[in-house]
Amino acid sequence: MSIRVRAQESNGVINIRALMSHDMLVPEDDGGPHFIETVEIGRNGETVLTANWNYTVSRNPFVQTEIDGSAGDTVSVSWTDNKGESDSTEVEVG
Amino acid sequence: MISTKRRVFLKGTLAAGTVGVAVGAGLLAPSKLLAAWPSEAFAAEGLEAAMEAVTGSSDIADGDVTLSAPEIAENGAVVPVSIESSLDDITEMAVFVELNNQPLTAHYVLGDGAHANISGRIRMGESSNVVAAVKSGDTWYKTVQEVKVTVGGCGG
């Protein structure tokens, strides 16, 4: 499992791109459905965006968004799936 | 007689108590309620039921919502979709695929500092309308685009 995050600030706006490694199994798959239900994107410890997903989000999910902030802020991305597995990471905004 | 009145009084108190608890929960933890994974909305079958579960209505107005998706997606397993809106005070956004078994694909809750600009990649089982909806203030607005899928992406 891993999450790759890029967070770049420009004019007070942080552009965030996150790529999560997860098979996102649909109900027809062996062991499915097994998918990320919730992703939380935070800045300096506060949740800014919560994503609730179905298994119809593509395998190895990618999300891009923008939030207010500055270079040097800490951006966190964490996910929880429907079987209770989770992962999280933090990056400093460039 | 006395016991009967007492029962009425108790029933009234219980009812008021229930309302009070419900209101209290709504007032004290709205963000937590919003953030809970909306299982009923995701399980809803059919676009109207899914939209109603998320927005409270299956008949929401077209509005200033930009949905960017390919007109033709060769691979239904990976369809890039972006939603954006310049409406004020957007607190929720949602993406529905009309002809997927479970139309609700993604639901976003925006906190302070979040911009109404989110991109991702979704699965489509077949060619279908895609609906992007945003909640501005207390009102939901939507836009619809058809995406033709060459090879479906929902089967096992």
* Residue A74 pLDDT greater than 90, yes or no: yes
pLDDT band at B5 (very low <50, low <70, confident <90, very high): low
Residues A5, A65: contact at Cβ < 8 Å?
A: no
DSSP string, chain B: -HHHHHHHHHHHHHHHHHHHHHHHHHHH-HHHHHHS--HHHHH--SHHHHHHHHHS-S--EE-S-EEE--SEEEETT-EEEEEE---SSEEEEEEEETTSSS-EEEEEEE-TTEEEEEEEEE--SSSEEEEEEEEETTEEEEEEEEEEEEE-----
Tell me if B154 sits within 8 A of B101, measured CB to CB: yes
The answer to whether residues A94 and A71 touch, using CB atoms and an 8 Å cutoff, is: yes
Domain boundaries defined on chain A: 3-92
- Average pLDDT of chain B to the nearest whole number: 85
Give the closest-approach CA distance of B88 to chain A in angstroms.
15
Q: Which CATH superfamily is domain A3-92 in?
A: Immunoglobulins (2.60.40.10)
Please answer yes or no on whether A54 and B118 come within 8 Å at the CB atom: no
Residues of B in contact with A86 (CB under 8 A): none
Q: What band does B70 get if pLDDT is binned at 50, 70 and 90?
A: very high
Q: Establish if B42 touches chain A: CB-CB under 8 angstroms.
A: yes
Per the CB < 8 Å rule, is A56 touching B97?
Answer: yes
- Separation of alpha carbons B56 and B39, rounded Å: 15
Q: What token pair was written down for B62?
A: 């077209």
Q: B44-151 — its CATH code?
A: 2.60.40.2470
Annotate A24-37 with DSSP letters as a single string.
-B-TTSTT-SB-EE
Sequence ranges of the domains in chain B: 1-36, 44-151
Residue B26 has pLDDT above 70, yes or no: no
Report pLDDT for B3: 53
Name the token pair of B41. 């909305």
Which residue in B has a C-alpha nearest to residue A58's C-alpha?
Answer: B122
Give A 14-73 residues with CB within 8 A of chain B. 26, 28-30, 32, 37-38, 43, 46-59, 61-69
What's chain A's length in residues?
A: 94
pTM of the complete model: 0.85
In degrees rounded to 5, what are phi and psi of residue B140? -95, 140
Does B22 have pLDDT greater than 50? Answer: no
The model's confidence at residue B151, banded by pLDDT at 50, 70 and 90, is confident
Using CB atoms, pick whichever of A29, A52, A61 lies closest to residue B38: A52
Token look-up 């998320």 returns: B54
> Which pairing describes strands B66-68 and B61-62: parallel, antiparallel, or unpaired?
unpaired
| CA–CA min distance B97, chain A (Å) | 9
Digit-coded pLDDT (tens) for A17-71: 999 999 999 999 999 999 999 999 999 999 999 999 999 999 999 999 999 999 9
Instruction: Summarize pLDDT for B38-61 with one digit per residue, the tens.
Output: 999 999 999 999 999 999 998 999
